[in-house]
Amino acid sequence: MQSNYKKAGIVVKPHKEVIVYLERAVKALKNFRVEVVLEKIAADLIGRKSNISREDIGHHVDIIILIGGDGTFLSVSKQAVESQIPVAGFNLGALGFLTELHKESIESNLEQIFFGQPKISTRKLLEIDYKGNTYMTLNDVVAGKGNIARIIKMRLDIDDSHVAEIKADGLIISTPTGSTAYSLASGGPIVSPKVNGMIITPICPHSLTFRSLVIPDNSTVKVTLISDLESYITMDGQMVLPMLKGDFFATRISPKTLQMVESSEMNYYKLLNEKLYWAL
């Protein structure tokens, strides 16, 4: 029995290796009688024509098939959320917590999605208010210094409580999904996506006593820049905005969510074992 997905949009990382898997995906979807909509980058790689951009593809399809890495996944997550369609990510590299489907078995995975019962995980997002604008991120928002080799000073407030004045290279606020990204690399904890929380992790803090915090997901986190050093806000590694002394942003869990297709052969702990090379 065919699923409700009638139109599949394909987004890829522009790389020579992707062409063989892109062609396999297009052929499989054609055999499944699923209409294929290629973003322009993917179409150009295999000599087809398309004027549909990555930023617009969500408006034309029922599901996004992604072949690339976590960065490519993050680049389409906003469109998927706005269109309320799921994303299925096939990983081209060795490490990929968002793109967890194996490219080698792309046909069988696509068959499971379109003719089986795809495993859908609902992922929470961050909502960031900054200078009158609202942004969404799947992994994290980071307040960090520029290229100057000096630490910055920030004030951290949670809800209506002053928590700390932090001297560090920066501060990461992440979702549980994003706990395995920059937060983990900075010494933060791994938090299951099923946990209702947010993670606050300092980057190289000057104080050895300030460590990661896991807080309830109904909290509002406010970060204010105290230093006059050049600093930036980075969202999911995709958008960078300047931050000046006295500027602040507020972060909370968004009411919107992302639908992510997970491997039917994988669970979160098996994924950690595989991606982090945890030997038995």
- Which long-range contacts link 210-215 to residues 24+ away (Cβ below 8 Å)? 210/164, 210/166, 210/168, 211/187, 212/183, 212/187, 212/188, 213/163, 214/189, 215/158
Backbone phi, psi, residue 30, to 5°:
-65, -40
Residue tagged active-site, from 70, 129, 169, 236? 70
How far apart CA 169 and CA 268 sit, in angstroms, is 31
- Examine the residue annotation and report whether 70 is marked as an active-site residue of this protein: yes
Instruction: Look up residue 169 and give its DSSP letter.
Output: S
Q: Are 233 and 130 in contact (CB under 8 A)?
A: yes
Residues marked active site are found at 70
